[in-house]
Structure 1
């Protein structure tokens, strides 16, 4: 499977999701992750769908070199917002391939609404958990930890 370009409608959809969240409406599993930009330091926000695996929370960047994933790697912290509820979080990149596979395998079950996005990206052709697990080396996965970074 070759990777497809991002859908042209994605920036508009992201803006709409962020706006709806800002006015207090929750949309399924979607939350808005805000992290400092790695160059500007200004807040940068993107919709994500956190999922729980083994009692731990994760977010997945389907495009490993996306701007938001690079910002998370640089900052290591941010906030997650669901409607008007915000919580400070730390974000740690998951390097262990077995854990990455487990998280990806769980994605179609935990976040079924996110499956079409991964299909559109060309990472999988269906919601088959084994296809998701096989794509674990082509995405970035971050563990979400409660709280802020120590000073």
Structure 2
């Protein structure tokens, strides 16, 4: 993806994300949602914590997340951060985010519509896919970031 490529999210997304995160903090489950979490990373310019809801998915025991908008702020912040925090209810976990190469991302993007069905309508609304077929998602490799979450220990060293 070219650094200049950026798809603007709809105006309502940030306010809706704030409501979504508040409801998640209260522990209220979402019907049909695939284990949403709050991802918090330091801002790349301010260093202040920046949070956004994400829906991680698991393949072969590893957790991943797809950036829904090329050039999204949270993606740029994640690239600049050493560590991030995943929160679900009262459970918090420190992770290192590793961005995958387009070749490594392709099979995960292909699996995305099956593993995260709620993400399909989101990506359709963003204009990134039309039918939501696996081939369309696979073609997003290099445009939409895919990160792997690696667990961290207390001192920031990756656990085996």
For structure 1, the residue ranges without an aligned partner over 5 or more in a row are none
Shift of 1:34: 0.4
Deviation by residue 1:93-114 (Cα, 9 ceiling, x = unmatched): 111x232111111111111011
Count of aligned pairs between the two proteins? 147
The alignment's C-alpha RMSD in Å is: 1.6
Aligned pairs (5 A) from 1:43-82: 43-82=49-88
Aligned pairs (5 A) from 1:1-151: 5-27=8-30, 28-29=33-34, 30-95=36-101, 97-148=102-153, 149-150=156-157
In terms of mean alpha carbon deviation, does 4-13 or 112-121 score higher?
4-13
For structure 2, the residue ranges without an aligned partner over 5 or more in a row are 1-5
- For 1:7 and 1:126, the matched residues in 2 are separated by 20
Answer whether contact 1:76 1:92 (CA < 8 A) is retained: no
Deviation by residue 1:2-55 (Cα, 9 ceiling, x = unmatched): x86312211111011110111122432211000111111111000111011232
Q: Which one has a larger percent helix, Structure 1 or Structure 2?
A: 1
Match of 1:136, SS?
coil
- For 2:98 and 2:82, the matched residues in 1 are separated by 6
TM-score w.r.t. structure 1 length?
0.90
Match of 1:64, SS?
coil
Shift of 1:115: 0.7
TM-score w.r.t. structure 2 length?
0.85
